[in-house]
Structure 1
């Protein structure tokens, strides 16, 4: 009668332990761990000769000349285009022998590293701007773009 009386006046009765067994790790799905590595990077390197390393998914490789083209990186053997899907984003890469940077409608910053330098130089590119850099200027130095960041 004592426990019945306590339950009636608002004191909860003790709950029993859950008898359900924990899930079997062999049949449970694995945990997802985001590495931010660019998907298909090995195939892109083989087919296009550019290395795309890591990013947040807001800057993706695109076909040049398409309506989605928003960033273009000119290099000695052609150009590479990227589509932007947000106000911010980043992508690390290695694109060699770059001589020009162009933006359609998103401002961005390109991290450009001369062959003989240890630290990259930032180039801020405004919407609608084209800028000659490195081999496309009087200095003529050989450079690589090692990253781009969307800045607005």
Structure 2
């Protein structure tokens, strides 16, 4: 019995060794063909081979569109269009130094401001006030075809839009610009 087991084992070892040698020879042959170029592309019947590194990667182009603006419109009823990323919508939290916009329709809309300056275009209807943080803020509003720009000093509250309009017309906030 023991001799049979040895014969079986050595037979498997020999067969394994033969397969390993065959694979190694095939790999060596393939490597030699690749290193030699394998003939020109017409002989291979294919298209010319070119190095992948010759192709430059695509360019990333920033379009400044506000990310997930459609979700914000659905959830909060405001349109966030474009910006430089230094003014971003945030959940309102008292005492956090946020820029706050007050609207009869959207209630209170808060923004986090970073960097030395920032801009964001939007559509927030029926705006009546702005509370700034440590940034001086320029607020651009429209009512009909009329455009208004209001400067709001840093760390202050200012009536803008319909609360500052003699006729009390509903104003649309269309842009915020901040600077330190």
Normalising by structure 2, we get a TM-score of 0.65
Write the distance in 2 (CA, Å) between the matches of 1:122 and 1:130: 15
Give the corresponding residue for 1:84: 113
TM superposition shift of 1:29: 5.8
Give the corresponding residue for 1:59: 87
Is 1:48 the equivalent of 2:76? yes
Give the corresponding residue for 1:135: 162
Point out the structure with the larger helix share.
Answer: 2
Residues 85-94 or 132-141, more deviating: 132-141
TM superposition shift of 1:151: 2.4
Where structure 1 has 5 or more consecutive residues not aligned to the other structure, the ranges are 1-18
Distance 1:143 1:117, change over 3 A: same
Other structure's SS at 1:36 match = coil
Distance 1:24 1:47, change over 3 A: farther
Structure 1 residue runs of 4 or more that deviate by more than 3 Å after TM superposition = 22-25, 66-69
TM superposition shift of 1:24: 8.3
RMSD, matched Cα: 2.2
Larger Rg: 2
TM superposition shift of 1:127: 1.4
Point out the structure with the larger strand share.
Answer: 1
Normalising by structure 1, we get a TM-score of 0.76
**Per-residue Cα deviation, 1:4-41 (whole angstroms, up to 9, x for no partner):** xxxxxxxxxxxxxxx9724487xx86431111000010
TM superposition shift of 1:55: 0.4
